[in-house]
Structure 1
Amino acid sequence: MRVPNRSPRRQQPRPPVPYTAPAGRRMSVRGLANSSPDGPDLDAYREAVGELLVEVGALAAASSTKARQVLIDQRLREPAIAAVLDDTPQGLIGARETLLLEMARYQPNARSSAGDLAALVRIYLLSRIDVMWWRDASTFVTDAEVHHSTQLVDLEWLRRRGLLRFRYTEQPRTVLGRGVRAVRRRVLPDATPRTAGLLFRRARREVVALLNDIGREFTAATTVGTPPLWVTSLVRSAEHQYRLRRLGYAAMVPSGHCLGWAVDVEMSWYERFGARDTLAGILLDRQRAGELNVIDEGQAWHICLAPSATRRLRRAYEAEMGI
């Protein structure tokens, strides 16, 4: 947590300044903003997904399995939804089959961010925007690939030099480390978010610049004493993604995390500081500007960087690091 300096304390947070895309930013030829003549209309897609979720919620009973399948068959073929799914590597048919399989296998549990079937469908369908954006990107298949990739930088190296505007914790690697973590949570249960922490403390340069940018905006919009932006998950290997699935997490495949372009940021913890809505507004402003895809997953929100923003953020990273 930030320690206030001796300057006068701000009594009220400043309202967040609505995010707007920098002037002159080029849009991708594949239409990566929310509305573009060259690609799917993401506003229409998100709206159609929202309408579908209402119907899925009404068919939540176990006896409604057949009705849910018919509903999915019909709704995924609607133009607003089909336009996005057709533009993913799996295509519409593959996405439909994967979603139906996910629904058939779904078992609610405390670890999963999908509290019910409707939440599972929402997370899956909204995450297809990530996959559509980055359909030509290579997956980090193994843990070793993540550890040794030259596309990623070490966050700890940056943190020690004061170059990060966000925080994170790593997963304990030993029995002793896990024991210390458990004791700390019992003594100071709300001092940090209740998260397993990062398995890989590595990230793409553009993602570092994005998180620094959001972190600065969040700090400026909140009162002294509000902790900085907290990141709970960054890049993952496909190997680790399947580990998470076996443990019961709603870890979708393919995933923007396994491509290195998706991040999870803590949300619920900021309620105790009165800052959750501020952070939500910052993220949604950037989604409206076409820079992010945002998925509300409860305790944490999933965000994925749009390809149209990478050039600006790479320049920002190089400027911050003095490259």
Structure 2
Amino acid sequence: MRVPNRSPGRQPGPAVASTTPSRRLPSADRPADGSRPDLAAYRAAVAELLVEVGALADAPSTAARQVLLDQRLREPAIAAVLDATPQGLVGARETLLLEMARHRPGSRTPAPDLTTLVRTYLLSRIDVLWWRDSPTLLTDDQVRTSIDLVDLEWLRRRGLLGFRYREQPATALGRGWWAVRRRVRPAAGPATGGLLIPRARREMIALLNDLAREFVSVTRAGTPPLWVTGLVRSAEHQYRLRRLGHPATVPGGHCLGWAADVEVDWYERFGARAALAGLLLARQDAGEVNVVDEGRAWHVCLAPGARPRFRRAYEAEMGV
């Protein structure tokens, strides 16, 4: 039996043991030669900036926020990361100011609060820094036909996925049915629009399977499995989300194929939110992923240094 990906597939086999790292990955956050930006220092500087942004979140503070950003984005710990992205420091600053200008607090759109918007943008620059040479998936058709992506539905039907997701309903009737079901049975699944195209990179499947196994091992019986609410999205779809008010960035980890959104807040009802958040942050500390708290769901991007290990894990799980 072969794993279909609309390209030559590979044969599945038995699951393998967890690939959770026992030590920090080399060259992930703090390389010994010092040639790469210090991501730990970057995250700490962003956290300090967010405190100040939160204090200036009201509308009359627009000018003060711009001055704050002009000053703080030029600090060495932040500038080193932004300079290393394709946009550079100036481009990142201009993009962030535009995102803040279009932000409409209190609107009916799904836009986050201002602090979450700034955190999401700045921390997602780590994804772009890591995968700057990875090609962007520009259209939905490219996502559907890419030989680098695997069909999740085929794997799910054969019990080869440890995590859950749902496919985005194609009709208004389907969306209405899901909304009713969610109101009637809120513990059956989180509030999510679902995946438009349920495909993913092999390494991301292995990462999410591994995280799902670890999550089961640290939660009590009856806790639902890991829920994934976002995976690969084309740049075309990112722009659709932006028109709906979502802070979807281009380029970003999703349209490069290296990011996923993992539901976190929903697990509060099962007493498992803190455990899941702890697992994600521990993997970030190990240099395995970049994590961004986006509120209800957390964004997770695989580090380049972890890619070979998770490719091997995928091949072992699928019997390649």
Q: Name the % identity.
A: 70
**1:68 CA drift (Å):** 1.3
Which segment drifts farther, 310-319 or 189-198? 189-198
Alignment of 1:166-205 (within 5 A): 166-205=163-202
Superposed CA RMSD in Å reads: 1.6
Q: Name 1:67's counterpart in structure 2.
A: 64
Given that residues 218 and 229 in structure 1 are in contact (C-alpha distance below 8 angstroms), is that contact kept between their aligned partners in structure 2? yes
Given that residues 262 and 298 in structure 2 are in contact (C-alpha distance below 8 angstroms), is that contact kept between their aligned partners in structure 1? yes
**1:54 CA drift (Å):** 1.4
**1:60 CA drift (Å):** 2.0
- Whichever residue aligns with residue 21 of structure 2, its letter is A
Q: 1:178 to 1:167 in 2, by over 3 A?
A: same
Q: Name 1:21's counterpart in structure 2.
A: 21
**1:51 CA drift (Å):** 0.9
Question: Normalized against structure 2, the TM-score is what?
Answer: 0.90
Q: Which runs of 5+ in 2 are unaligned?
A: 1-18
- Whichever residue aligns with residue 112 of structure 2, its letter is A
**1:183 CA drift (Å):** 2.8
Q: 1:295 to 1:87 in 2, by over 3 A?
A: same
Q: Name 1:283's counterpart in structure 2.
A: 280
SS at match of 1:302: strand
Residue 295 (str. 1) matches residue 280 (str. 2)? no
Q: Which runs of 5+ in 1 are unaligned?
A: 1-18
Which segment drifts farther, 146-155 or 49-58? 49-58
Residue 253 (str. 1) matches residue 250 (str. 2)? yes
Count of aligned positions: 300
Q: 1:147 to 1:110 in 2, by over 3 A?
A: same
Q: 1:62 to 1:83 in 2, by over 3 A?
A: same
Residue 114 (str. 1) matches residue 130 (str. 2)? no
Q: How far, CA to CA, are the matches of 1:255 and 1:189 in structure 2?
A: 31
Q: 1:183 to 1:154 in 2, by over 3 A?
A: same
Alignment of 1:144-223 (within 5 A): 144-223=141-220
Q: 1:315 to 1:78 in 2, by over 3 A?
A: same
Alignment of 1:26-175 (within 5 A): 27=26, 31-34=27-30, 36=32, 37-108=34-105, 109=107, 111-112=109-110, 114-115=112-113, 117-175=114-172
1:316 to 304, 313, 319: 313
**1:34 CA drift (Å):** 4.5
Alignment of 1:229-244 (within 5 A): 229-244=226-241
Q: 1:176 to 1:67 in 2, by over 3 A?
A: closer
Q: 1:287 to 1:34 in 2, by over 3 A?
A: farther
**Once the two structures are superposed, what CA deviation does each residue of 1:232-262 show, in whole Å capped at 9, x if it has no partner?**
0000000000000000111122210000001
Q: How far, CA to CA, are the matches of 2:229 and 2:267 in structure 1?
A: 13
